[in-house]
Structure 1
Amino acid sequence: MSSDKKHIRLSLRDQKFLDKALRIVNDHLGKESFGIEELSQELGLSRSQLHRRLQKITGLSAALFIRSVRLKKAVELLLEGDLPVSDVAYRTGFSSPSYFNKCFHEQYGFPPGDIHKQKTSEIDQRTFFIPEALSDSKAGYIKTSKKRKIYFYLFVFMAIIIFTIIYFLSGNRFGKIQIHDKSVAVLPFKNFSDKQENQYIADGMMEAIISNISKIGDLKVISRTSMEQYRESPKSVRQIGSELKVNYLLEGSIFQDEENIRITVQLIDIKSDEYIWSDNYDFELRDIFSVQSQIAERIATILQTKITSEEMSRLQQKPTSSPEAYDIYQRAFYYYINYLQQRLETDYTMALTLFRMAINEDTTFADAYVRLADLYWIRNYRGEFHSNTFMDTVYLLCRKGLRFDPRSSDAHRLLGQYFFETGKREQGITELKTAISLNRNNASAYDVLGFYYNWSGQWETGIPAIFTSIQLDPYSVLLPLRYCYLARGYLDILDFEKTFYYSQKAIELSEGSRPSLGLAYWINAHTHLMCGKGEEALEAAGKLADINEIGALRIQAEVYCHLFRDFEKSIDLYQELTRRDSAHYNYRHRYAYALWEAGDYDSAKAMFETQIRTFERELELGRVERNDPHYNLAGIFAFLKDYDKAFDHLKKHHFTSGLEIYAERDPLFRDIRDNPEFKRIIQDAIDEKELIRASIERKISEDFGL
């Protein structure tokens, strides 16, 4: 930890040792090969003895002690102004100017070439504290008589009492940090190791610290994915804090030398733009979990955060007893994050292979099971959607992970997804709530919970949950998708203004993200269709066609069939749709209607009967796919004049996607459109949505200031 340079009173033995160590390092200052081994040999000590002596006297590891002496000499040479930076680097024993620049910047916060722009006092404050050896005369000063010691301790005792009285009586708390709302973001850690391939260790440390402090319910913590954009950002601390809407930033770096690691962390108060805490941690790889916990606990202490006994227990829990398994897991996580962001096959394969290797190294490693389950879900969701074994692999992996860590938030999140998608909706919601109770900063859990609440028609809970996920992860690669979720939610409650607003935001942010862009264009086209605006729907479908031809064809066919009543054109489009994607089925009752109107009654009736069986099977499976089976069955039965079944399904349908508005012009309902019962069902749905919109507007205004 950096400190102001000062004299401390050392024993004569420690003074002589330090003086000799400083002289030896300075004598070999220009030798790049001079390191811990050489210093320990010249001092006649083992490496561990050397480390303990220097740690006791200076608070520095042996490696950092040598580097600090080199940097201090470098500052002197740079201030003289006669040598270029590269020469200073080699004269002070650094292997290269680039490595020198890294070390210098880590220590002083600016590149060596900018040294003349700094104040000398500020440079001194950022120099690692190396106690200066005292002269023999000063050494004698340490030999204080017992009487003087007694007076000294009495003086210190009285000073403490007086200061304490003043502290509590005064409104001004001397030296007390002003704590703002406890919101924290962790910037990507810098890797100052010689090997750039060690970046995964820096990323792993960043992830672990975020994960640990996220377990503290009293803290709001920004998700990892939102922080990647600041990896090489020139933005100021205030800019970053303003964009993330947080009050504190943690920045850090790592330096690894074989098995020894040094981590430097600094906590910044954004409002004052000042460091309120900084520290260095020197440790061996096997002690990494202890250091991760210490850093999280220290941040909580500095921010005066309440930590429950349960949270403390989770902070101190080691994810694995195997350093080898953890190292493999960190490598896997690096590729896992890359896959989330870019969906590259090579990243998927590496992540999959390495997660499996981590499990082979430690079969009780819960996090590895859970990340493997997450990876499997992302990759195989669509492919297994209509399978009887849909996502069973995810279920088994999560159960195994929870066996070894019952408090895994992401395992409960994934189980929530599994249960909800397989028809066990209440169980799914319960698992997602458990995930959030274990980690109130789990943006993905809020995201999924909001998504499923919306799909279940519980928009008053779902839409705020999605806003929470955006607040916790404001610059995630998933942000465009979350805007789409909001647009879809507002479409469901018939707030078309906000539907178009959030779909447009998704479009603006979706460059390079075809799934989000396609969904946003589809929402726009579908909303225009629901409102009966054929030309606008076709325009949006035209943009969708570049990304999702199948989705675009369906919108176009329905516009020509239902709004323009151009059955010949719509049949051509439905035929093309069927040719391109024979597995796509949820539009075929619309295709059947076009055939019927064109006079092909046999083909139309056969297609209607197939659709009835398909949608009834969908209801049996309990799938959540938004094919609106009750609405579609109601339309088919109404058109086939089986009105009892039509009304039975219509009463069971929970209206979404603007279908209340569309139903009044949907040609499948033309024979019952004037039926009082039909009108009542539709009007009740519209009235209910008006009340829901008012309730959500109040909640969003109160909780998010929007």
Structure 2
Amino acid sequence: MSDIPARDQKFIEQLRETIEQHMSDEQFGVSELAEAVGMSRSNLLRKIKKLLGLSVSQLIRQVRLERAMELLKDSELNVSEVSFEVGFASTSYFVKCFREQYGYPPGEAQERFQQENTVASVELLTVSNRKRLIIGLVALALLACVVFLFWKLSDADQDLTEVEKSIAVLPFKNDSSDTTNVYFINGLMESTLNNLQKIGDLRVISRTSSEKYRNSPKLIPEIAEELNVNYFVEGSGQKIGDRIMLNIQLIEASTDKQLWAEQYERKAEDVFKMQQEIASSIASRIKVLITPDEREQIGKVPTQNLIAYDNFLKGIDLVIVGDKQKNMAAIPYFKKAIELDKTFAYAYASLAFAYYNLDLFMADRQYIDEIDYNAEQAMKYDPELAESHIAMAFTHMQRMDYAGALPYLEQALEYKPNSASVINLLSDFYANYLPNTEKYLEYALLGIQLNVNANDSSTTSYIYLHLCNALIQTGFVDEALYYADRSLDYNPQNPFTNYVRAFMLYAKEKDYEKLRSRLITEWKKDTTRLDILQEIGKVSYFMRDYETAHEYYSLFLDMRDQMHLDIYRYEQAKIAVVFDEVGEHEKAQSLLKGYLDFTLYADNSVYKEANLAVYYAYTGEEEKAMEHLETFSRVENFQYWLILFDHDPLFDSISDRPEFQAAWTRIKNKFWSDHERLKTQLREKGLL
């Protein structure tokens, strides 16, 4: 690090110290580090890449692994204990990372340390110091030149007003009468958007937000006000035989003035070079900084086989729609693309996505092997493709290894820092798979910045639904109701908003009867809604109205079995209590066993200790229950529902014990303390 200027060395040392202070916190990642040192995520990413040639997540992982090496050499801790100490929730992932860093597994560290030649190390250090002195002097001279030039340029431009570098790519138009060309024109739009999303210095509005304006008569300044952007890209074109004709222009939003335009007529074989030129020209015109790594990402050619690329575009055009029939129809196109180019990483990743979508929420997952294979192939042929990392995350999520999935999603965001789809994946991940209320709210707020005014009122309604759900889970009741009402303003028929809103109103009113009545009203609109069915059963359970709870829970279980779904297993202890209360003891025991199996072997959430406390309290093992509850009382970022519904019949056997009441008070105080801290942070950022 001695070839880095002293000022930047201090900065790197500060980063390393900050990481070391949070060494055992598995949730401490890129966003937390950026916040701790008072920088934006994108600026931190660029600076670390420039100084060290690493991504921020790689730096964090490097510091963790260096500490792991120290512990393995100097302590009596085993590999699993070291993994936990340095912030790896998954030991298998720790072993994988350690081997990649050092070339051998962590179990061999101590033996190899004993064999090291310390004399050779001292000699090497002496030579290295002389080299560093020379390099350091050269670096200082270069830095002086750079500072002088920067001062001169800054002085010349000091009167210019800095405009936020934000852009939307409007839907490209098909100039051909041949409607079968639409997928290709959509593909050119998508590639333009993808390339721009790779630039950390540029805020890029998502495709769904721009799609609303495909046939809109609105003027550019009107659209700019709605999307809150300063620049637009418009395009139109057609494909005739092996020729591509594309007209593209960059527009300044405030004036509707054309800043740059180009007419391309190229052979199909030059399509990738054309896409790279478009992104570079746009970035140059609005003075966006593109780092060398970002330029390399933009310059990548996904395949040399144009027929493979054509099939890939046809598949992508279907997968984006999102339903299972479309995903099934996309699979042959991806397979054909791979058949024509065995190294086509993006096609492998997209095929993994299609299979993952088909298996989502199913009890009997049919495509685990296909997802694994295609994700591994994608990583093999392009380990720096964001989609390769998303596909690998899906392989871990299929096996409920959520801690193992997280690093891949975070790495995907580093490769595409402006990707609304990756941000939404992380938001959903922290909401449902590895629950963390603070992280969920962070990504929901970030996502809404890239997804404002989506392609129609229905989609906008869902975006606000996501945000209001994140807010209520962190205890912001009034703010959650505000965004729930905004969701309903855009779509009064949104089937989920009134459902979630019922719980927000309960948080204000504390009236079980009203809550159950509202839920029943929503369920009658669609009696296939398993989520509402189990919630009606649960509210009745908290009311200790076990007959009504049994009625709705029975419907829920029957429908879950008929649809072969693997959902809400973490709720089975409550259902078991209800069946036991109405005399169905054998069914109750079966449900309780399923609950314990899930909690012991599949529950990787922050609620695991609370769920075990519930089980042991109900089975009469009170000391075990208190032990697990004490452990849970030290957990952070749990959902508001836990303390909102705090008279759980499962805890009846221990609820009068002073130590239970003390632990529960600590849990509630911790939630509200975290809530106040988060409120301060959000207000400082202007988000509340």
**Shorter-chain TM-score above 0.5:** yes
Q: 1:318 is paired with a residue of what secondary structure?
A: coil
Contact kept? 2:599, 2:612, Cα under 8 Å: no
Deviations along 1:411-468, whole A, 9 cap, x unmatched? 2123234435645444322212211111111222222223333554543333112211
Residues 221 and 577 of structure 1: is their aligned pair in 2 closer, same or farther, counting only changes over 3 Å? closer
In structure 1, the partner of 2:532 is 552
Residues 560 and 224 of structure 1: is their aligned pair in 2 closer, same or farther, counting only changes over 3 Å? closer
Q: 1:184 is paired with a residue of what secondary structure?
A: strand
For 1:562, which of 526, 533, 542 is the aligned residue?
542
The question of 1:282 aligning with 2:265 is answered: yes
d(CA) in 2 for partners of 1:577, 1:301: 57
Cα deviation for residue 233 of structure 1 reads: 0.6
Q: Which amino acid aligns with 1:678?
A: F
The question of 1:692 aligning with 2:663 is answered: no
Residues 473 and 624 of structure 1: is their aligned pair in 2 closer, same or farther, counting only changes over 3 Å? farther
In terms of mean alpha carbon deviation, does 295-304 or 251-260 score higher?
251-260
For 1:575, which of 522, 534, 554 is the aligned residue?
554
For 2:304, which of 321, 328, 343 is the aligned residue?
321
Contact kept? 1:263, 1:281, Cα under 8 Å: yes
Deviations along 1:524-563, whole A, 9 cap, x unmatched? 4455667453223321332134234433332333333431
d(CA) in 2 for partners of 1:246, 1:306: 18
Deviations along 1:341-362, whole A, 9 cap, x unmatched? xx262x3333122111111111
In terms of mean alpha carbon deviation, does 429-438 or 283-292 score higher?
429-438
d(CA) in 2 for partners of 1:169, 1:460: 39
Who wins on radius of gyration, i.e. which is larger? 1
In structure 2, the partner of 1:382 is 361
For 1:409, which of 386, 391, 409 is the aligned residue?
386
Cα deviation for residue 490 of structure 1 reads: 2.8
Contact kept? 2:187, 2:313, Cα under 8 Å: yes
Contact kept? 1:615, 1:633, Cα under 8 Å: no
Contact kept? 1:187, 1:230, Cα under 8 Å: yes
Cα deviation for residue 305 of structure 1 reads: 1.3
d(CA) in 2 for partners of 1:344, 1:597: 40
d(CA) in 1 for partners of 2:212, 2:618: 54
d(CA) in 1 for partners of 2:202, 2:165: 5
Residues 657 and 217 of structure 1: is their aligned pair in 2 closer, same or farther, counting only changes over 3 Å? closer
Contact kept? 1:416, 1:427, Cα under 8 Å: yes
Residues 272 and 177 of structure 1: is their aligned pair in 2 closer, same or farther, counting only changes over 3 Å? farther
Contact kept? 1:553, 1:574, Cα under 8 Å: yes
In structure 2, the partner of 1:593 is 577
Contact kept? 1:249, 1:267, Cα under 8 Å: yes
In structure 1, the partner of 2:42 is none
Cα deviation for residue 661 of structure 1 reads: 2.6
Contact kept? 1:208, 1:292, Cα under 8 Å: yes
For 1:189, which of 160, 166, 172 is the aligned residue?
172
The question of 1:349 aligning with 2:331 is answered: no
CA RMSD of aligned residues (A): 3.2
For 1:489, which of 439, 461, 470 is the aligned residue?
470
Contact kept? 1:527, 1:658, Cα under 8 Å: no
The question of 1:671 aligning with 2:653 is answered: yes
Cα deviation for residue 189 of structure 1 reads: 0.8
Contact kept? 1:179, 1:304, Cα under 8 Å: no
In structure 2, the partner of 1:464 is 442
d(CA) in 2 for partners of 1:168, 1:227: 36
In terms of mean alpha carbon deviation, does 521-530 or 658-667 score higher?
521-530
Deviations along 1:53-107, whole A, 9 cap, x unmatched? xxxxxxxxxxxxxxxxxxxxxxxxxxxxxxxxxxxxxxxxxxxxxxxxxxxxxxx
Contact kept? 2:437, 2:638, Cα under 8 Å: no
Residues 436 and 553 of structure 1: is their aligned pair in 2 closer, same or farther, counting only changes over 3 Å? closer
For 1:218, which of 192, 196, 201 is the aligned residue?
201
TM-score by length of 1: 0.67
d(CA) in 2 for partners of 1:638, 1:169: 67
Q: 1:581 is paired with a residue of what secondary structure?
A: helix
Contact kept? 1:415, 1:428, Cα under 8 Å: yes
In structure 1, the partner of 2:280 is 297
Residues 249 and 704 of structure 1: is their aligned pair in 2 closer, same or farther, counting only changes over 3 Å? farther
Residues 448 and 336 of structure 1: is their aligned pair in 2 closer, same or farther, counting only changes over 3 Å? closer
Contact kept? 2:503, 2:515, Cα under 8 Å: no
d(CA) in 1 for partners of 2:350, 2:428: 21
In structure 1, the partner of 2:512 is 533
Residues 246 and 391 of structure 1: is their aligned pair in 2 closer, same or farther, counting only changes over 3 Å? farther
Aligned length: 522
Q: 2:682 is paired with a residue of what secondary structure?
A: helix
Q: 2:258 is paired with a residue of what secondary structure?
A: strand
In structure 2, the partner of 1:437 is 414
d(CA) in 2 for partners of 1:624, 1:380: 20
Contact kept? 2:327, 2:357, Cα under 8 Å: no
Cα deviation for residue 294 of structure 1 reads: 0.5
Contact kept? 2:200, 2:417, Cα under 8 Å: yes
In structure 1, the partner of 2:424 is 447
The question of 1:366 aligning with 2:345 is answered: yes
Deviations along 1:154-183, whole A, 9 cap, x unmatched? xxxxxxxxxxxxx9999799xx99762111
Deviations along 1:604-661, whole A, 9 cap, x unmatched? 3x444333421232134434689x5644443343234321222233334458443443
In structure 2, the partner of 1:473 is 451
Q: 1:230 is paired with a residue of what secondary structure?
A: coil
Q: 1:246 is paired with a residue of what secondary structure?
A: coil
d(CA) in 2 for partners of 1:511, 1:535: 20
Q: Which amino acid aligns with 2:440?
A: G
Residues 479 and 365 of structure 1: is their aligned pair in 2 closer, same or farther, counting only changes over 3 Å? farther
d(CA) in 2 for partners of 1:170, 1:507: 51
Cα deviation for residue 473 of structure 1 reads: 2.5
d(CA) in 2 for partners of 1:646, 1:412: 39
Cα deviation for residue 507 of structure 1 reads: 4.7
TM-score by length of 2: 0.69
Q: 2:427 is paired with a residue of what secondary structure?
A: helix
Contact kept? 1:254, 1:262, Cα under 8 Å: yes
For 2:662, which of 653, 659, 680 is the aligned residue?
680
d(CA) in 1 for partners of 2:202, 2:339: 35
d(CA) in 2 for partners of 1:533, 1:372: 46
The question of 1:611 aligning with 2:611 is answered: no
Cα deviation for residue 522 of structure 1 reads: 4.0
d(CA) in 1 for partners of 2:282, 2:594: 56
Contact kept? 2:519, 2:536, Cα under 8 Å: no
In terms of mean alpha carbon deviation, does 201-210 or 254-263 score higher?
254-263
Q: Which amino acid aligns with 1:618?
A: F
1:70-109 counterparts in 2 under 5 A?
none
In structure 1, the partner of 2:251 is 268
Cα deviation for residue 253 of structure 1 reads: 0.9
Residues 686 and 296 of structure 1: is their aligned pair in 2 closer, same or farther, counting only changes over 3 Å? same
Q: 1:287 is paired with a residue of what secondary structure?
A: helix
